[in-house]
Amino acid sequence: LQNHPLVHGGGGASLADGTAVQLLANIGGAQDALVAEAAHADGVGLFRTEFLFLDRESAPGVQEQAEASGAVFSRFPGRKVVVRTLDAGADKPLPFLVAGPEPNPALGVRAYRTSWERPSVLTDQLDAIAVAAAAAQAEVWVMAPMISTVEDTEDFVALCRARGLGPAGIMVETPSAAITADRHLAACDFASIGTNDLTQYTMAADRQLGALAHLNTPWQPAVLALVRSTCEGARRVGEGPTVDSAVADKPVGVCGEAAGDPALAVVLGGLGVSSLSMAPRSLPLVAAVLASVTMEQAKELAARALAARTAAECRDAVRAGLPILGDLG
């Protein structure tokens, strides 16, 4: 497929009418950064920082964390690298941080929530990112996972600002954040939708249970309705009575698995998502399929997807409108 004439070699993408869509890579460290660089990613849309913390009895020190972040940042001079703060718990257990056992770990004190009781792990991490960012040429963005209230967003942004870090944003992984995205985005700089968790929480279906795989798909119309809600919230930011009317739209990206599905990528673009972050190997095909549609067509396909009754009908309706998928085999 990489050699197919319709598939250009990864990197930045635009729709057929020239509308730009940033194509970014999901990475877990410096090794992955090399792969992302080779795939001509526009940058990194999700730098998962958990790996440095796994299989340890305590958190790594600020210096070690700064070096690990610096090794990634140095691969992307002048380009965006979105660092996600620690996402421990549920599918990523971390015994020294996550209180356990909990009856429902996916609904427990995980991810950003661990900082309520143990703020030093998060503040050390932000200190380390700030040290690495100050020494790097990359454009460093920072975001927190599993945010559900505006208080969380405000607190996280304050911690970032105090260290000169920014843009500071949130992952939209809970229905609450998607539904109240306008208020979250009035308090932060950007949102990145984690469709893996957003699907799990919208469908009330554990993402680790194979028996629920048919529920755990971002083709579920309810999930796409929450993507729309997030994008609409980002557009409303400048319009409310309580916010500065000069504030421009805030950027919304997607960094869950959905971003790497070419047909879904078109739908997400049509809903207003301006950057897609995925496994580097998915970049060329997503770029090719995006280039085959105009924004008007992407919006039309998004409208079809939102109107679908079921996940299967949603996927079939969109795929039927993308003949290039057949051409690409």
Closest CB to ligand PEP among 42 and 197?
Answer: 197
- Crossing angle of helices 62-73 and 119-134, rounded to 10°: 40
Question: Which partner in Mg ion, ligand PEP, none is near 255 (CB below 5 to 8 A by kind)?
Answer: ligand PEP
Residue with Cβ nearer ligand PEP (131 or 147): 147
CB of 197 vs ligand PEP, minimal distance in Å: 3
Stretch that binds Mg ion, among 22-30, 167-175, 275-283, 290-298 (CB under 5 A): 167-175
Tell me what percent of the chain is helix, strand and coil, each rounded to the nearest 5: 45, 15, 40
Stretch that binds Mg ion, among 72-80, 97-105, 166-174, 320-328 (CB under 5 A): 166-174
State the DSSP string of 172-193.
Answer: E-SHHHHHTHHHHHHHSSEEEE
Q: Give the residue with the Cβ less far from ligand PEP, 255 or 288.
A: 255
- How far apart (Å, rounded) are the C-alpha atoms in residues 187 and 314? 33
Stretch that binds Mg ion, among 42-50, 65-73, 197-205, 244-252 (CB under 5 A): 197-205
Residue 84 or 250 having the CB closest to ligand PEP: 84
Cα-based distances in Å from 94 to 58, 65, 257, 263 = 9, 16, 23, 35
Which of ligand PEP, Mg ion, none has residue 48 at its interface (CB below 5 to 8 Å by kind)? ligand PEP
Axis crossing angle, helix 221-236 with helix 262-271, rounded to the nearest 10 = 40
Among 32, 152, 197, 206, the residue binding Mg ion under the rule CB under 5 A is 197
Tell me the window of 75-83, 165-173, 185-193, 201-209 that interacts with Mg ion (CB under 5 A): 165-173
Q: In terms of residues, how long is the chain?
A: 329
Of the pair 149, 196, the CB lying nearest ligand PEP is at 196
Task: Point out which residues bind ligand PEP (CB under 6 A).
Answer: 46, 48, 87, 173, 194-197, 255-256
**Identity of the residue, 92 or 163, whose beta carbon is nearer to Mg ion in the bound complex:** 92
CB of 196 to Mg ion, least distance (A): 5
Nearest alpha carbon to residue 192 among 19, 22, 313, 4 = 22
Q: Is 65 helix (H, G, I), strand (E, B) or coil?
A: helix
257 binding Mg ion? (CB under 5 A)? no
- Binding segment toward Mg ion, per CB under 5 A, in 12-20, 43-51, 155-163, 188-196: 188-196
Locus of tokens 């070096």: 67
| Interatomic CA distance for residues 268 and 275, integer angstroms | 9
Q: Is residue 50 part of the contact set for Mg ion (CB under 5 A)?
A: no
Nearer to ligand PEP, 256 or 269 (CB): 256
82 touches which of Mg ion, ligand PEP, none (CB within 5 to 8 A by kind)? Answer: none
159 or 193: CB nearest ligand PEP = 193
Torsion of Cα atoms, 223 then 293 then 315 then 41, to 10°? -60
- The interface partner of residue 132, options being Mg ion, ligand PEP, none and the CB cut-off 5 to 8 Å by kind, is none
Q: Note whether 206 binds Mg ion by CB under 5 A.
A: no
Task: Quote the CA–CA distance of 263 and 12 in Å, as a whole number.
Answer: 17
**95 preceded by cis ω (within 30°)?**
no
- Kindly list the distances between the CA atom of residue 114 and the CA atoms of 66, 109, 120, in Å, as whole numbers in the listed order: 21, 6, 10
In angstroms, give the least distance from the CB of 82 to Mg ion.
13
Q: Rounded CA gap, 133 and 263, in Å?
A: 35
Give me the residues that bind Mg ion (CB under 5 A), please.
173, 194, 197
